[in-house]
Structure 1
């Protein structure tokens, strides 16, 4: 830890990897990871007092930093899964989203050990060998302090769309399958259930909500009452579209999707954040790094910059966290498997892509200040607001002790300070690309203040942090004291 004007600032001259190894050795007592050493350290997840965010039952904030690993059970060996989980743990991910009945012909194409999940495509006849691998993965995640957001099935197994399928569920077997899952995984404290599987719950002609209701009922009656339940919808929609007036889910997710750059995810989040009664919301599938824009390589590929813009703007608009994705990793593309929609590399080459390494800086930033009393507040932005790729998002805390603005493009911005009653503010620039915090200094609070980002233009995104000078001393992104 370095200091500027007696203010602690993180020093990144020592790499995160070295620091991570050091901390890991301390945590594990300089020995190998064992189940005995890795007692689950967290109280159960629940909703914050204001119902906008997720927290642990002991009041500790929980910032959802997920990774999409849809085909994990279906396409990887144990050794490959270990490599993947170790990598994601080192990058600060705390939720792994994976599907039991996977999208890529999961019920009919066996996993790497030759096991199918179901016997004769019957949800009431699960294959014990296949589920032993699922058990093992959940255990491995638990030992790393990570949750598994477990999808019982991809959505086309309930509602056949887009030439996928097979459609194998009805209300009766969905309940029994859900009961089996709830009973089997009730002993694991690191399960979050995610039904839906990238599909709408209704279409113009078919309502499949009764099937999902039956599956969730089975999960809960099977013993899964302590685990939270959410729904993963299709692209550019929210689970509130199907379940907004129904108390089936504990929290909601949306998918801003992969159609084009700068889809207005902030509007989607704000819409759901403002619903009554309040419920946590997050983008569980934004644009994936290395995904062809609109699924066509000739349109170019989403970059780490595209990923950052959507992630920060969804969280600053009120999201309780966000999920990262990489196009090669969700499908675990490797020799022997057909590529899906212009994938450009194998999954092993995608593990350390820039966007994956940068997501931890967002989590660290949010958790370095009171995270459960965040209030989205666009009125803070007086001048400099832009549209689409330049759209700025801002939030403050309820007590008026700090505010943050995400600028997707480095430029001049004028900020209102009416949210704070302090006579003196401290200003910081926080770099989403490397997690560094640059001290602006002490400022006499006026009705509005002007700031210019340290670097300008596209690709130079910044977070402006303003806070009561008497309240905070550690730099944004540092561990709270």
Structure 2
């Protein structure tokens, strides 16, 4: 596509994230709550969902896509090697199928040369590739509601395929593995355990591994206590507006032994609720709610998705689930650009000591409500050792926050916009143990870009920078 060649030269001037990043593999933090880089420095996992990346894009399009995502502050891309949309029978953009005779023990070298290119190009942009070895449907003998399906995996060839992948990418610092692929693994656990064993045999402990389940499910139900599962992934899904994602995250966060948790597939921007065209589409506001609710409930990062982008939709292919915009145009939908403000906010305060803490909300706060407030702070549960508190408010309302978890005598209060990342100072106040306000919406009225806000309450003595700034 000619437009991509022009766009590549333009967006190359705009790339501000990633290229200069130090190349470091990821590991689980010592407190088992976060992912960190090899040197122990914090890592905020902010992924875009590019499921069909290897299947539908050519190399120029891949470069354009990755450059765009890096420029918007994403740190990872989730993509599937054996893709869902007839990935075993329809060649990729270079005319290659992934396997010989549908055999996972016979990978097609030409196909994997494109996978190699994507992983290497992502490395240039400082992006991690969260790779699904296969879509989950290929491990079960069931018809797919939309596409061709063929069960190709057994315990034996899953192990062989996993070892092949582990060996091929063992020296790539920017790889994570996500098994599954939108499927409940019941009665197929042996296949996924074998694939994980193969990955470990091929690459040792070079890469982290997790599992992507189907909608409103979590990997912890089947694999939490396995040795190979490094962090849990839940899929809150696309079924209803204002889903109680915070409860789902909290359930995994509170498991024993502790493992990091991620909402790896929340509702996609521009997808219809319940996949039904009679229902409204999720917009950037709903997407923001899922993101802040998930992270403030204890998730170590977040995954963004867009209905037009996961399938890499163009006018040349049939739309799936009512896609309505070419993927290259959908890259600029507002929700994607707004995700970097969440990352910037979390990176602007002590990171690895952060905990969820709903006890600081000193007012009526219903579960399963569109205006549910979610709070996070640093410190230890049950102790008054915080240096900051953050609370996400989906809409303007009276507010009462317990601040006695902060020992300092004075507080500095900010309003932070999830829409544009602007931090508006409320100012310095005495720490009376509770911060209350009922007219704050008047204070920010002239600058209010959207209905949702984050209130950030700092120990004034810490002199933290404005939220979102390092």
Q: TM over 0.5: same fold?
A: yes
CA deviation map 1:269-292 (0-9, x unaligned): 001111111100010100000011
Residue 179 of structure 1 corresponds to which residue in structure 2?
163
**What are the Cα deviations for residues 329-377 of structure 1, in whole angstroms up to 9, with x where unaligned?**
0000112211111112111220100000000000000010011111111
- In structure 1, C-alpha distance between the alignment counterparts of 2:234 and 2:57, rounded to whole Å: 27
CA distance in 1, matches of 2:427, 2:298: 28
Verify: 1:358 aligned to 2:350, yes or no: no
Give 2:6's aligned residue: none
Question: Which residue number corresponds to residue 466 of structure 1?
Answer: 457
Note the C-alpha offset of 1:57. Answer: 2.4
Shift of 1:224: 4.7
Matches within 5 A, 1:388-467: 388-398=369-379, 399-452=385-438, 453-454=440-441, 459-467=450-458
Post-superposition shift, 1:458? Answer: 11
Query: 1:417, CA displacement in angstroms?
Result: 1.0
CA distance in 1, matches of 2:161, 2:232: 23
CA contact (8 A) 1:408 1:459 kept: no
CA distance in 2, matches of 1:424, 1:228: 42
Following superposition of structure 1 onto structure 2, how do residues 21-32 of structure 1 map, counting pairs within 5 Å? 21=13, 24=16
Q: Does 1:42 align with 2:10?
A: no
Query: Are residues 266 and 434 of structure 1, via their aligned partners in 2, closer, same or farther at CA, if it must alter by over 3 Å?
Result: same
Q: Aligned ranges for residues 61-80 of structure 1 at < 5 Å?
A: 61-80=42-61
Equivalent of 1:60, from 37, 41, 60? 41
Aligned to 1:4: none
Q: How many corresponding residue pairs?
A: 447
Gapped regions of structure 2 (runs ≥ 5)? 1-9, 380-384
Q: Is the 8 A contact 2:458 2:464 kept in 1?
A: no
TM-score between the two structures when normalised by the length of structure 2: 0.92
Q: Which runs of 4+ in 1 moved over 6 A?
A: none
Offset at residue 416 of structure 1 (A): 0.5
Which of the residues 298, 303, 307 maps onto 1:323?
303
Bigger mean CA deviation after superposition, 429-438 or 242-251:
242-251
Aligned twin of 2:74: 93
1:108 aligns with 2:89: yes
Match of 2:175 in 1: 191
Q: Scaled by the length of structure 1, what TM-score is found?
A: 0.90
Q: Tell me the distance in 1 between the aligned counterparts of 2:245 and 2:330.
A: 25
- The whole-number CA distance in structure 2 between the counterparts of 1:95 and 1:105 is 25
Please name the residue that 1:278 is paired with.
Answer: 258
2:136 equivalent to 1:155: yes
Deviation at 1:299, TM superposition (A): 0.5
- Alignment match, 1:310: 290
The answer as to 2:463 corresponding to 1:475 is no
Task: Please name the residue that 1:34 is paired with.
Answer: none
Distance in 2, matches of 1:23 and 1:212, equals 37
Aligned residue in 2 for 1:208 = 188
Distance 1:40 1:338 in 2: 38
Mind listing any 5+ residue stretches in structure 1 that lack a counterpart? 1-17, 29-37
> What is the aligned-residue RMSD (CA, Å)?
2.0
